[in-house]
A and B are shown apart, each in its own frame.
Chain A
Amino acid sequence: QSVLTQPPSVSAAPGQKVTISCSGGSSNIGNNYVSWYQQFPGTAPKLLIYENNKRPSGIPDRFSGSKSGTSATLGITGLQTGDEADYYCGTWDSGLSAGFFGGGTRLTVL
């Protein structure tokens, strides 16, 4: 059972917006930054968002991140069929020097 809780699946139509939530507690998200990873079937995860809302070079601004209290949200606008993937939130507990992932959310673009 993951420390961070994500919905197992979300879906939306092409062109629409979707949000994926990541819920934790004061010991993890509440006191640390959140990152997000995208994983297509059969491939390695890829960093999508770091430090709650920053995008690495090459990640389109259709992807955004936010955090409030002990929860974080990944937003994807202008959905494309190519966005269908699994999305994971993650955080680093600096006190424990340990990483944690959410259970993952499967995005379906209908």
Chain B
Amino acid sequence: QVQLLQSGSELKEPGASVKVSCKTSGYTFTTYGMSWVRQAPGQGLEWMGWINTNTGNPTLAQGFAGRFVFSLDTSVSTAYVQISSLKAEDTAIYYCARLFCSGTNCWFDFWGQGTMVIVSS
């Protein structure tokens, strides 16, 4: 069965960096893209972008360019998001979500359990 298992919660100081992992199983990793979604406390879902797991080419949503980097390790079927120069407003739950595409239409069919990142001094 398809599973996306994310790394554990993180507590970081402002200005630090964090790397969240999303280890997949139950399917061929490079067949589907991987998206990242942010959910700030008490807020809705915010699409951060996606990475083509075949080419490694990332597409970041507006507002996420610069400090957010998507990467892959296809040898272990794992996707990562690294956030640098952390700010208090980066405090959120970060979800990975498999991107299923049929032609040009896509949706998020399987989700990781989420990783809480808290930025606080």
Task: Tell me the A residues contacting B by CB distance below 8 Å.
Answer: 2, 32-33, 35, 37, 39, 43-47, 50-51, 56, 86, 88, 90, 92, 94, 97-104
Contact = CB atoms under 8 A, between A and B. Distances in A.
Contacts of A102: 44
Interface residues of B, number: 26
Interface in B70-121: 95, 97, 100-102, 104-114
Interface SS, A side: strand
Given A50-B109, A51-B102, A99-B47, A45 B59 contact: no
A101 B107 contact: no
A2 B97 CA distance: 19
A94 B105 contact: yes
Contacts of B61: 98-99
B46 A56 contact: no
Contacts, number: 70
Contact of B107 (A39, A44, A51, A86): A51
B21 interface: no
B46 A101 contact: yes
Contact of B45 (A33, A37, A51, A56): A37
Contacts of A97: 50, 59
B32 to A, nearest CB: 13
19 contacts: A32-B105, A37-B45, A43-B113, A46-B111, A47-B108, A50-B109, A51-B105, A51-B107, A88-B45, A90-B107, A92-B105, A94-B104, A99-B47, A99-B106, A99-B108, A101-B37, A101-B45, A103-B44, A104-B44
